[in-house]
Amino acid sequence: MGNAKSLTRDALPGEPGPGGVIRKLASEVAAGDVRLPSLPGIAVRVQQVLEDPRAARTQVAQVIGADAALAARILRLANSAFLNPSSQQITDLKQAVTRLGHQLVRCTAVSFSLQQMELGTGEAEFRPHIRELWRKGTLVASIAYVLARETRAAKPDEALMTGLMHNIGHLYITVNAPVRASGGGAGKAWEQVAEEWHPRIASSILKHWKFPAAIVAAVADQNLVRTTGGDEGLTDVLIAAKALESCVFHRELLNDTVTAGPPFQRLGLGAVQCKDLLGAAADQIKALRAALTS
CATH number of 144's domain: 1.10.3210.10
Q: Does any domain span residue 158?
A: yes
Last residue of a domain, one of 70, 92, 117: 117
Decide if 231 contacts 218 (C-beta within 8 A).
yes
Boundary-marking domain end, from 88, 117, 146: 117
Same domain, 274 and 178: yes
Query: Which amino acid, residue 72?
Result: A
The pLDDT score that the predictor gives to residue 170 is 85
Q: Is residue 14 part of a domain?
A: no
Total number of domains constituting the chain: 2
Q: Are residues 131 and 263 in the same domain?
A: yes
Whether 60 and 88 share a structural domain: yes
Residues 45 and 132 in one domain: no
Q: Are residues 176 and 288 in the same domain?
A: yes
Domain with 270 in it:
123-294
Q: What are the angstrom distances between the C-alpha of 126 and each of 77, 123, 188, 237, 253?
A: 28, 6, 16, 29, 28
Residues 85, 193, single domain; the answer is no
| Residue whose C-alpha is closest to residue 107's, from 189, 18, 254, 214 | 214
Are the C-beta atoms of 280 and 160 separated by less than 8 Å? no
- Are the CB atoms for 292 and 77 separated by under 8 Å? yes
CA distance 218 to 166: 8
Q: Does residue 168 sit in the same domain as residue 236? A: yes
DSSP string, 17-79: SHHHHHHHHHHHHHTT---PPPPPHHHHHHHHHHH-TT--HHHHHHHHHTSHHHHHHHHHHHT
Is 32 within the bounds of a domain?
Answer: no
| Residues 144 and 289 placed together within one structural domain of the fold | yes
Tell me if 16 is assigned to some domain: no
Same domain, 163 and 202: yes
**Does residue 164 lie within any of the structural domains?**
yes
Sign of CA dihedral 39, 43, 48, 51: negative
Q: What is the pLDDT of residue 4?
A: 36
Q: Domain boundary residue among 85, 117, 149?
A: 117
Helix ranges restricted to H, the chain: 18-30, 41-51, 57-65, 68-78, 93-100, 102-116, 127-151, 156-165, 168-176, 184-208, 213-220, 232-244, 262-267, 271-293
In a domain, 10, yes or no: no
Q: What is the mean pLDDT of each run of 10 residues along the chain (294 residues)?
A: 36 52 66 60 82 84 91 90 79 91 85 66 64 87 94 92 90 66 57 84 82 92 71 91 92 92 93 93 86 78
Domain assignment present for 5: no
Planar angle of CA 229, 222, 32, nearest 5 degrees: 70
d(CA 204, CA 92): 35
**Looking at the domain assignment, is residue 17 inside a domain?**
no
